[in-house]
């Protein structure tokens, strides 16, 4: 008697990688806005702090996707554990960066904190427009927005 087939590892395309690259690309697009906001908040110190924050957010998204891609090919259970504990580890890495630079003269806490929070949430909300919620096209919507034509 054959039982149900249970997937133990992912074999399909790594859609999380394309989504993370798209998030990082959008992070680069909005970086000048946050750099200007940081500069308005704290001059050169705010600009440097906002730049650090945007870079940290992009690295955070790319690291999360890489961890998921690597572990999904090994075991889905391992991937689920990595997603859960990877979040905590990545949050700790952000905290370590803050602790490492918090007493440096160029670090502007308000510009950094505002940029980290708004960039994380803003990029995720913005990305929902481009992610397909269909199993037929997992990941980014096919051809959107690059193949969209204006009448």
The pLDDT value recorded for residue 43 is 94
Our measurement of the distance from residue 59's CA atom to the centroid of its chain's CA atoms, rounded to an integer in Å, reads 7
Beta bridge partners of 140: 131
The pLDDT value recorded for residue 146 is 42
The pLDDT value recorded for residue 31 is 95
Mean pLDDT per 10-residue segment, the chain (151 residues):
62 79 91 95 95 95 92 88 91 94 94 94 86 61 48 40
The pLDDT value recorded for residue 15 is 81
* All residues at 6 or more sequence positions from 119 whose CB lies less than 8 Å from its CB, including other chains: 27, 30, 34, 53, 54, 57
Whole-number Å distance between alpha carbons of 86 and 113: 21
The pLDDT value recorded for residue 19 is 85
The pLDDT value recorded for residue 104 is 95
The pLDDT value recorded for residue 3 is 58
3-state secondary structure of 143: coil
């Amino acid at each position: 008697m054959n039982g149900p087939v249970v997937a133990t590892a992912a074999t399909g395309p790594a859609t999380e990688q394309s989504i993370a690259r798209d998030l990082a690309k959008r992070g680069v697009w909005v970086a000048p806005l946050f750099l200007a906001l940081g500069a308005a908040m704290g001059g050169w110190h705010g600009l440097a702090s906002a730049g650090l924050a945007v870079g940290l957010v992009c690295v955070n998204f790319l690291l999360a996707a890489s961890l998921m891609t690597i572990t999904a090919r090994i075991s889905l259970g391992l991937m689920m554990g990595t997603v859960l504990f990877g979040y905590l580890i990545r949050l700790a890495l952000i905290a370590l960066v803050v602790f490492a630079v918090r007493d440096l003269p160029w670090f502007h806490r308000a510009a950094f904190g505002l940029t980290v929070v708004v960039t994380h949430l803003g990029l995720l909300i913005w990305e929902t427009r481009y992610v397909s919620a269909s199993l037929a096209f997992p990941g980014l919507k096919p051809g959107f927005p690059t193949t969209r034509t204006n009448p």
